[in-house]
């Protein structure tokens, strides 16, 4: 009997404050094996201050816009190669990301994860709900959640989509976990 291995990577794509991080934590609770949870925020937090002020790195505008430069892209490529290496070494990874350029962002991630079994999950949330969450959090630039709510999904292919504004995070995690077979 041949066993087909399920996904070893779950990519969660959604805008800021859409509920990706909470969904990742819930997935760690409901999935049967240990899964690492990594986020694009981890990458940004690990960057030197010189690359978090715009220019060649990543910049955050007053209205919530995000810009990325060549320095960020170089480190993002290395980061994703590291994620792929962890998966190849036996880890299972939930990757929380924000595809600022929609389909182009997915293509970059897909290229880095080439040859790996990936479950692509769209994490949706109505812009007004994400904006309210953003305001309650207080650690994001106002307007970021609303700006990103739809653009991150443009042209992106998913195996599954969940809506954290309509469904509790645990139920969303169970829906994602149901797509992971071992």
Give me the catalytic one of 41, 45, 62, 70.
41
Concatenate the DSSP letters of all residues of 34-92 into one string.
Answer: --EEEEHHHHHHHS-GGGSSSTTSEEE-TTS-EEE-HHHHHHHHHHHHHHHHHHHTT--
| Residue 41 annotated in active site | yes
Phi and psi of 34, rounded to 5°? -65, 135
CB 15 within 8 A of CB 98: yes
CA distance 79 to 39: 10
Give every CB contact of residue 119 below 8 A, 6+ residues apart in sequence: 6, 7, 9, 10, 11, 159, 160, 176, 179, 180
Q: Which residues are catalytic?
A: 41
């Amino acid at each position: 009997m041949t066993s087909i291995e399920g996904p070893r990577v779950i990519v969660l794509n959604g805008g800021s404050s859409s509920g990706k991080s909470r969904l990742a934590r819930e997935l760690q609770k409901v999935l049967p094996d240990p899964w690492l949870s990594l986020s694009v925020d981890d990458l940004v937090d690990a960057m030197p201050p010189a690359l978090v002020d715009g220019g060649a790195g990543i910049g955050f505008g007053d209205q919530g816009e995000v810009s990325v430069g060549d320095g960020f892209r170089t480190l993002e490529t290395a980061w994703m190669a590291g994620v792929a290496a962890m998966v190849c070494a036996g880890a299972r990874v939930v990757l929380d990301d924000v595809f600022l350029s929609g389909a182009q962002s997915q293509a970059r991630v897909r290229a880095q994860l080439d040859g790996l079994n990936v479950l692509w999950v769209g994490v949706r949330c109505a812009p007004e709900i994400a904006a309210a969450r953003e305001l309650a959090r207080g650690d994001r630039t106002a307007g970021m959640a609303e700006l990103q709510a739809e653009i991150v999904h443009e042209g992106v292919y998913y195996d599954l989509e969940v809506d954290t504004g309509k469904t509790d995070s645990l139920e969303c995690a169970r829906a994602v976990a149901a797509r992971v077979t071992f």
